[in-house]
C-alpha cells in the first residue's frame, strides 16, 4: 500500500503495543513489557515544515518506483534524500549513510563484555568492569536505544514498501545481537531498571526486522543457579517457538579447546599436571552441562573449532586433541543421563546420537589468525601471513574493508553507543555514522582490530556500489 496522505503517517500505525507482562512456562510473571520508545513521527512534520516537504517529495519518488525488485543502490540518492526524515534514530544522517547501515548491518552490540576469555577470539572478547563513579562509560546498550534502532529500520523499510529483511542486497536471514559477548550473559535494562533478556531481544528483532537472531554460547558455570534457570527458560521458550514453526533463534554451542579453562589445562599440563587436570574437569563439566540443557531443543548447532594438524600452534589445540576433548565431554554427558531418573534409556540414546552427529565436523580452516589467535602461531604460519597481508591492505585502503577479503563481504555493526563500524572480521574501522542514541556521548570498551581514524560512509558506499555489492 502506497502512502499518499502524508499527514496521516504516524508511528501509532506501526507500533502496536505488546503485552504489558509476560509469563514463562511455569506461569511466573517476568520482565514487564516490550514498550516502544520512539518519537511520534507527526511531531516533526509540524515543527520542521521544510524537512517535511523534502520527505514528501522523497516519498512520492519512492511511490512512483517499482520497489519490488529495486536495490537500494538503484534509487537516485538525491531524490531519495529525505525519506529518512522524522525517524528519530537516523536524525542527522544522510540517505547514503542510512542505506549503508541497513544494507550491510550484521550485528547489534547489545553487550560488550564476555567472561569466556577464549584464547583464539578474533574479537578479543573479555570482561570489562566500569568503576562506580564512571558515568561516561557503558558496556551494554540501553533498551530504549535498542528499540529506537529496530523501530527506525522498520519504519524506513515501510516507507520503501519493503520489510527490513528485504532491504539488503544479500538477503541474510540472521543477525547477531553481539560481536564480543556470550548470549547467556546478555541482559539489557531500560531507564527504569527493568530487565530484558534474549527472549525480549529475539521478539523485537523478529517483529521489527523479520530476521532470525544468532544465539551463541560457550556455556556457564553449572553451579550458577540463576544462569542455569535462565538457560532452561530459554530452552523452554525456543522449543515452544520451534514447535509452532517460528524458528526466530538459531542456537550455536561454541565447543573449542581455546576456552580459558581448557587453555589453562594446556598451559599447566607439563609443569603442574594436577592443577591442569582441575581446569580440564571444570571445562568438561561445563560443556557436558551445556549439552545436557540444550540438546532437548531440536536444531541446535555446534561451532566446533580447532587448529589443523599442519598448524604451527600447540598440539593440544589441534584436531586430534580436540577429538579426545569431545569424547571426554560425551562420557560426562552420558553419566548425567544415567543419573537422571526422569530420562529414559531411549531418550538418552537419542540425545547422545544427536551429540555425535552435531560434533562430528570440526572446523579447522581459516580461523582468522587475528586477535588472540595470533599469539598462538609462529610468525611463519601461512594463516597468520594471510591475515597480516589483509591487515596491511585494510590500512592502505580502508574504504575497501568491506570487499578486501576474497569470497567474503564485510559488514557493519552498531556499537552500544550507536557508533557504526565497518569490519571484515580481520580489522575494524570507525565510520562517520553516529546514530541518535540516548547514550551517543558515552564511551564503550575497545573495539577489536581497530584501525586508527575513520572512513567516510561515502567512500564505503561508492566501493560497495562499484563492486556490485549494493
What pLDDT, in 10s, does the model give residues 203-251?
A: 999 999 999 899 999 999 999 999 999 999 999 999 998 888 888 899 9
DSSP at 421: E
Cell of 225: 543457579
Q: How confident is the model at residue 191 (pLDDT cuts 50, 70, 90)?
A: very high
| CB-based contact 87:81 (threshold 8 Å) | no
**Distance in angstroms (rounded) separating the CA atoms of residues 106 and 422:** 10
Bridge-based pairing state of the strands 105-108 and 411-414: parallel
pLDDT at 172: 67
Higher pLDDT, 8 or 344: 344
H helix count then E strand count, the chain: 13, 13
Task: Tell me which of 5-9, 178-182, 413-417 is least confident.
Answer: 5-9
* 151-164 mean pLDDT: 94
Per DSSP (E only), the strands in 201-261 are: 212-217, 249-255
Per-position b or e across 359-377, b if 16+ CB within 10 A of its CB: beebebeebbbbbbbbebb
H-run or E-run covering 71: none
**Distance in angstroms (rounded) separating the CA atoms of residues 341 and 437:** 51
**Distance in angstroms (rounded) separating the CA atoms of residues 444 and 117:** 18
H-run or E-run covering 99: helix 95-104
pLDDT at 245: 83
Q: Is the pLDDT of residue 336 over 50?
A: yes
pLDDT digits (tens, 9 = 90+) for 72-94: 878 999 999 999 999 999 999 99
**Distance in angstroms (rounded) separating the CA atoms of residues 323 and 219:** 19
Distances from the Cα of 4 to the Cαs of 42, 84, 313, 421, in angstroms?
15, 16, 63, 36
**Distance in angstroms (rounded) separating the CA atoms of residues 425 and 122:** 7
Cell of 116: 569466556
Q: How confident is the model at residue 390 (pLDDT cuts 50, 70, 90)?
A: low
pTM (two decimals): 0.85
Q: Is the pLDDT of residue 5 over 90?
A: no
Q: Is the pLDDT of residue 3 over 60?
A: no
Q: Is the pLDDT of residue 49 over 80?
A: yes
pLDDT at 407: 46
Amino acid at each position: 500500500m502506497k502512502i499518499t496522505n502524508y499527514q496521516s503517517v504516524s508511528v501509532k500505525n506501526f507500533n502496536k503495543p505488546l503485552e504489558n507482562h509476560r509469563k514463562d512456562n511455569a506461569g511466573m510473571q517476568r520482565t514487564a513489557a516490550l514498550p516502544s520508545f520512539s518519537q511520534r513521527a507527526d511531531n516533526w512534520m509540524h515543527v520542521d515544515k521544510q524537512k517535511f516537504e523534502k520527505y514528501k517529495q522523497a516519498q512520492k519518488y519512492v511511490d512512483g518506483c517499482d520497489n519490488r525488485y529495486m536495490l537500494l543502490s538503484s534509487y537516485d540518492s538525491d531524490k531519495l534524500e529525505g525519506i529518512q526524515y522524522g525517524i528519530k534514530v537516523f536524525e542527522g544522517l544522510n540517505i547514503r549513510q542510512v542505506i549503508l547501515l541497513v544494507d550491510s548491518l550484521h550485528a547489534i552490540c547489545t553487550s560488550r563484555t564476555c567472561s569466556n576469555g577464549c584464547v583464539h577470539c578474533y574479537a578479543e572478547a573479555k570482561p570489562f568492569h566500569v568503576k562506580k563513579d564512571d558515568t561516561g562509560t557503558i558496556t551494554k546498550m540501553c533498551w530504549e536505544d535498542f528499540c529506537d534502532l529496530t523501530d527506525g529500520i522498520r519504519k524506513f523499510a515501510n516507507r520503501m514498501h519493503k520489510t527490513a529483511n528485504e532491504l539488503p542486497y544479500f538477503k541474510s536471514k540472521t543477525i547477531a545481537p553481539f560481536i564480543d559477548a556470550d548470549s547467556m550473559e546478555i541482559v539489557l535494562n531500560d531507564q527504569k531498571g527493568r530487565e530484558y533478556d534474549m527472549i525480549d531481544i529475539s521478539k523485537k528483532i523478529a517483529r521489527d526486522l523479520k530476521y532470525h537472531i544468532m544465539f551463541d554460547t560457550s556455556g556457564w558455570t553449572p553451579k550458577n543457579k540463576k544462569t542455569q534457570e535462565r538457560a532452561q527458560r530459554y530452552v523452554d521458550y525456543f522449543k515452544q517457538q520451534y514447535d509452532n514453526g517460528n524458528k526466530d533463534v538459531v542456537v550455536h554451542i561454541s565447543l573449542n579447546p581455546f576456552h580459558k579453562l581448557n587453555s589453562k589445562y594446556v598451559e599447566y599440563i607439563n609443569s603442574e599436571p594436577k592443577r591442569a587436570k582441575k581446569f580440564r574437569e571444570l571445562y568438561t563439566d561445563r560443556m557436558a552441562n551445556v549439552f545436557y540443557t540444550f540438546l532437548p531443543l531440536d536444531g541446535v548447532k555446534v561451532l566446533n573449532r580447532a587448529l589443523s594438524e599442519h598448524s604451527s600452534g600447540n598440539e593440544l589445540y589441534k584436531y586430534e586433541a580436540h577429538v579426545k576433548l569431545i569424547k571426554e565431554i560425551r562420557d560426562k554427558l552420558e553419566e548425567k543421563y544415567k543419573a537422571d531418573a526422569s530420562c529414559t534409556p531411549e531418550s538418552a540414546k537419542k540425545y547422545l546420537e544427536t551429540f555425535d552427529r552435531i560434533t562430528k565436523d570440526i572446523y579447522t580452516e581459516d580461523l582468522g589468525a587475528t586477535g588472540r589467535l595470533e599469539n598462538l602461531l609462529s610468525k611463519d604460519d601461512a594463516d597468520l601471513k594471510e591475515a597480516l597481508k589483509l591487515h596491511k591492505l585494510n590500512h592502505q585502503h580502508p574504504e575497501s574493508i568491506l570487499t578486501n577479503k576474497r569470497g567474503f563481504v564485510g559488514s557493519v555493526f552498531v556499537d552500544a553507543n550507536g557508533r557504526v563500524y565497518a569490519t571484515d572480521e580481520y580489522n575494524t574501522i570507525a565510520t562517520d555514522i553516529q546514530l541518535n542514541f540516548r547514550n551517543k556521548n558515552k564511551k564503550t570498551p575497545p573495539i577489536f582490530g581497530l584501525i586508527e581514524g575513520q572512513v567516510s560512509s561515502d567512500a564505503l558506499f561508492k566501493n560497495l556500489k562499484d563492486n556490485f555489492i549494493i
